[in-house]
Amino acid sequence: MSTFPKNFLWGGATAANQCEGAYNVDGRGLSTVDVIPFGPDRMKVSRGQMKMLACDEEHRYPAHEAVDLYHHYKEDIALFAEMGFKVYRFSIAWTRILPNGDDAVPNEAGLAFYDSLIDECRKYGIEPLITICHFDTPIALIKKYGGWKDRRMIDAYLHYCEVIFDRYKGRVHYWLTFNEINMLLHMPFMGAGVLFEEGENELEVKYRAAHYEIVASARAVKLAHEMMSDAMMGCMLAAGQYYPFTCRPDDVYTAMEADRDNYFFIDAQARGEYPVWAWKRMERAGITLDCTADDLAVMKEGTVDFISFSYYASRAASADPETVKKYRKPGNAAIMSLKNPYLDASEWGWQIDPLGLRITMNTLYDRYRKPLFIVENGLGAVDTVEADGSIHDPYRIDYLRAHIEAMGKAISQDGLPLLGYTMWGPIDLVSASTGEMKKRYGFIYVDKDNDGNGTLTRRRKDSFYWYKKVIASNGEDLD
C-alpha cells in the first residue's frame, strides 16, 4: 500500500509579484506589492506604519523585475514539467487584468498572458491552481476606497473574479480566494491595502477589513460554483500551531487564544459563521463589525470546498511577560512567536518542526472536516554556485524530506485526506518578508542578487533531481 493517493497533486507554488516582474508592462497597473521597498522600511510599509502609495527614488523595489517569469514562463514551466509537476500554484496579478482594480473593460494583454500560462501548464498535464489575490490590492482602489477598509471593495473583487472565472473556466479547477487571509491582522497594508488614520481604532479597522474579505471570499465561492460546475474553491491560512511555552494553564490558554487569531478566518470560511468567542472578543475590544444579515447569509452559502494552508514553522506562546521578553524572536517575523528551545532554526530564524506540520494538519482536519491542501512549505536558505555551475543544497532536501515524511504519516497513520503539496518557490524568487533574493527556496536557481544584478539564467540545484525522484515514486523514494 503506498502512502500517497494515486492522483496526489505534487508541485510548487509562486506569487505573481514575487516572480513575474514586468510590473509596468502591457498595461499592468500598480498594486501594493509594487510599492513595498527593499530594506529597513519594508516591514513598516507592509504593516501600514509608513505610507507609500507610489515608488520613489530613494528606495528599490525588487518586485519590479523579480525573476522575470513574465518573459521566461515557457522555460520555467518546462523545468517544472521536467520535475514531473502535477500542479502549479500561481497567482493572477489583479492589476494585469484590471489596472485600476475595477475597470469596466479588462486589459486584454493581461488576460492573454494568463491564457498562455495556463495553456503552457496544461500542455504538460500540469493542473493550474490559482490564487486570486496574493497580497496585491490595486493602488487605485486604495486611493478610491482606502483598500479593504471599505465595503465597496467586495464588488470590485467580485467583478475581478467574474472576469477571470469567465475567461479561464474549463481550464482551471482549483482556486484560492485570498492568500494567507489571516496575514491582514499582522501586515495590514500588504494583506489588505490598509493604512491607518490618526486616532483610528486599528484593531477595529483590521477586523472590518477582515469581514469584507471574508464576505468577498464567500461570494466568490458562490459565484465560482454557479459559473463552473467543476470548481474546487479553497481558503488559505498562514498556519502553524501555537504551542504553550510550558504546561502552565495560563500558557495553554494564551496559546489557544493566539491560534484563535488565525482560525477566526478559517472558521468563517469553512463553517460559514463566526465562532461565538469571536463576537465576545470583538465586543470587549470595542469593535463594531459592519455586518449585515445578508453578509451572514452569504457566508453560510459560500463555504469553501477545501482547506489550504502554508506551513513553515510551529509557533510558541507564553502568558509570562518575562518569558516573552527573553524568548521573543528578534527581527521582522510577520507573526509573533517565541523561540522554541527544542527546535533548530533556518538562517532567517524560522524554526524547523516537521512534526508541527502533522500536528497542524490534524488540528485543521479535526476542526473543519474538509480535505486539506498544503500550498506552501519550504526552506529559505543561502545557496552557493560551484565553479562548475552545480548547486548543492542538502539542507533544503533534508527540510523537505522531513516535512513530506510528516505529511505522509498524517495520511497513512492519521487517515487525513490531503489533496496535494505545492512546495513554496520551486524557482528562486523575491522574499515577501525581506525583499531579498538571497533567501532562496527554489529547486531552480536564478542568477540574480540582492542588488538586482545577474543574468537571470536558470540552473538546476541538487534538490531539483531529488524532487523529480520524489514525484516519480509518488512520495515513496525520499532518499
Which of 28, 439, 458, 460 is the binder for ligand BG6 (CB under 6 A)? 439
CA distance 470 to 479: 8
Query: Per CB under 6 A, does 47 bind ligand BG6?
Result: no
376 included as an active-site residue:
yes
Query: Per CB under 6 A, does 136 bind ligand BG6?
Result: no
Burial class (CB in 10 A: 0-12, 13-18, 19+), 38: buried
Residue 256, number of CB atoms within 10 A of its CB: 14
Q: Which is nearer to ligand BG6, 101 or 380 (CB)?
A: 380
- Return phi, psi of residue 7, to 5°: -100, 25
CA distance 77 to 120: 7
Check 20, 127, 376, 436 and give the catalytic one.
Answer: 376
Which of 241, 303, 422, 433 is the binder for ligand BG6 (CB under 6 A)? 433
User: Minimum distance from CB of 189 to ligand BG6 (Å)?
Assistant: 14
- For 263-324, give the DSSP string: HHHHIIIIISS--HHHHHHHHHTT------HHHHHHHHHT--SEEEEEES--EEE-S-HHHH
Q: Which is nearer to ligand BG6, 107 or 450 (CB)?
A: 450
Q: Which is nearer to ligand BG6, 130 or 278 (CB)?
A: 130
Side chain identity, residue 251: D
x-or-dash string of contact with ligand BG6, 185-224, rule CB under 6 A: ----------------------------------------
Query: Per CB under 6 A, does 238 bind ligand BG6?
Result: yes
User: Minimum distance from CB of 65 to ligand BG6 (Å)?
Assistant: 16
DSSP state letter for 427: B
Which of 177, 179, 241, 351 is the binder for ligand BG6 (CB under 6 A)? 179
CA distance 144 to 129: 30
Which residue's C-alpha cell is 515513496? Answer: 476
Q: Which is nearer to ligand BG6, 252 or 381 (CB)?
A: 381
Q: Which is nearer to ligand BG6, 281 or 403 (CB)?
A: 403
Query: Per CB under 6 A, does 351 bind ligand BG6?
Result: no
Query: Per CB under 6 A, does 264 bind ligand BG6?
Result: no
Q: Kindly list the distances between the CA atom of residue 175 and the CA atoms of 127, 131, 308, 471, in Å, as whole numbers in the listed order.
A: 11, 6, 10, 22
Check 20, 120, 180, 213 and give the catalytic one.
Answer: 180
Q: Which is nearer to ligand BG6, 333 or 478 (CB)?
A: 333
CA distance 315 to 380: 17
The alpha carbon of 189 is separated from its chain's Cα centroid by a whole number of angstroms, namely 15
User: Minimum distance from CB of 431 to ligand BG6 (Å)?
Assistant: 4
User: Minimum distance from CB of 380 to ligand BG6 (Å)?
Assistant: 4
User: Minimum distance from CB of 18 to ligand BG6 (Å)?
Assistant: 6
180 included as an active-site residue:
yes
Q: Which is nearer to ligand BG6, 281 or 440 (CB)?
A: 440
Per rule CB under 6 A, count of chain residues that contact ligand BG6 = 14
Q: What share of the chain is helix, strand, coil (3-state, %, to 5)?
A: 45, 15, 45
Which of 136, 180, 213, 259 is the binder for ligand BG6 (CB under 6 A)? 180
DSSP state letter for 328: B
Element (H, E) at 83: helix 69-83
Q: Which is nearer to ligand BG6, 239 or 319 (CB)?
A: 239
- The stretch among 21-29, 395-403, 430-438, 463-471 that binds ligand BG6 (CB under 6 A) is 430-438
CA distance 268 to 273: 5
x-or-dash string of contact with ligand BG6, 369-408, rule CB under 6 A: -------x---x----------------------------
- Whether the CB-CB separation of 362 and 372 falls below 8 Å is answered with no
Which of 137, 182, 310, 314 is the binder for ligand BG6 (CB under 6 A)? 310
User: Minimum distance from CB of 296 to ligand BG6 (Å)?
Assistant: 29
- The stretch among 320-328, 353-361, 405-413, 431-439 that binds ligand BG6 (CB under 6 A) is 431-439
Query: Per CB under 6 A, does 76 bind ligand BG6?
Result: no
- Return phi, psi of residue 310, to 5°: -100, 145
User: Minimum distance from CB of 457 to ligand BG6 (Å)?
Assistant: 22
Query: Per CB under 6 A, does 424 bind ligand BG6?
Result: yes
Nearest residue to the partner ligand BG6, using Cβ: 433
CA distance 258 to 242: 7
- Whether the CB-CB separation of 335 and 264 falls below 8 Å is answered with no
Q: How many CA atoms lie within 13 A of 462 on its CB side?
A: 15
Which of 187, 232, 406, 432 is the binder for ligand BG6 (CB under 6 A)? 432
- For 24-44, give the DSSP string: TSTTPPPBGGGS--SSTTHHH
Catalytic residue numbers? Answer: 180, 376
Binding site for ligand BG6 (CB under 6 A): 15, 18, 179-180, 238, 310, 376, 380, 424, 431-434, 439
